[in-house]
Chains A and B, each alone.
Chain A
Amino acid sequence: MKRHNRSINHLNNEDTELGTKKLISELDKLDNIYPVKTPNIEWFQQVVLVEKKQLRRKFIRELALFLIVALTLLSTYLVAFHHFPLVVFVIQIVLTILPIIVLTKKRERIADETDIH
């Protein structure tokens, strides 16, 4: 954007108001330059119906995917629990305790940094 010698700090409210008026007037002209042709109601109904149909399909697809993943995880867990109960038990304990340890360490680090500053 080009610069010129008049500093923007020297602009008064009147200048800004004139600029705003000019901008509004030109934005109005934009409406005249590009007149809008609104389609009829049947077209909008068709768009809504098609979109709703696609949304429904998407929902069913996502639900099916969710159920497949959930059932796979559940069955894997049950099989593992049936054959190696001790391993599953240890993994569960580790997964419960690990985030607590990480969170505590993080808090301690933040507290140390705050003390330093």
Chain B
Amino acid sequence: MDVSEERKYIDRAVKGDTYALSVLLQAYYEFLFKYLIKITLNPVLAEDLTQDTMVRCIEKIGTYNGKSKFSSWLITIGTNLYIDYLRKVKRENDLWEKERAIRKIQWQAALSNESWLPALSVLNQLSYNARVPIILKHYYGYTYKEIAKIIGVSEGTVKSRVHNGLKVIQEELISDEEA
């Protein structure tokens, strides 16, 4: 789907066109799931959050003003739903839960003939406060300003979280290599 075509579908979806909204949701389903699995590092949770994000998108499409990209708007909704989930279940510090999820990923990687993924294990140990901005900055290429808007903190805070998070990742990777 090119930009002008997407614009047309967005305009129609905002006005209440069911088909146009369905086309947009289908087009962004994969993108959204891939983003959510990266920030949650939990495939089951990522799938649930993808569907919750779609439902929220259906609910809020009338308020989309086109100031940000449609993909960024979906990322903002998905990230906020993930933060809400963490607040509700208070599992962010539950190491057992996090370990279980990353073990599943490493197991699945082995089944797919991939080697051990040490950087993901370290990423999993960081809090979502650092994990989300690192992924948005270095994987998706968002600016600090855009990330600050998505997660609702100041630009300085984002910079510091990305910087410190990356240092921890590097430190742990070196430690693993030395071991």
Contact = CB atoms under 8 A, between A and B. Distances in A.
Whether A associates with B in a native complex is yes
Interface of A: 1-2, 4, 6, 8, 11, 15-16, 18-20, 22-27, 29-34, 36, 38-41, 44-45, 47-49, 51-52, 55
B26 A33 contact: no
A33 B105 contact: yes
A48 B21 contact: yes
Contacts of B55: 47, 51
Interface of B: 18-19, 21-23, 25-26, 29-30, 33-34, 37-38, 43, 54-55, 58-59, 105, 108-109, 112, 114, 117-120, 123, 125, 134-135, 138-139, 166-175, 178
A22 B172 contact: no
Main secondary structure of the interface of A (DSSP, over half): helix
Nearest to B38: A27
Contacts of B21: 48
Nearest to A32: B112
Contact of B58 (A29, A30, A36, A55): A55
A26 B29 contact: no
Contacts of B171: 4, 6, 8, 11
Nearest to B121: A26
Interface hub of A4, A19, A40 (most chain B Cβ within 10 A): A19
Contact of A29 (B19, B114, B168): B114
Contacts of A1: 125, 168, 172
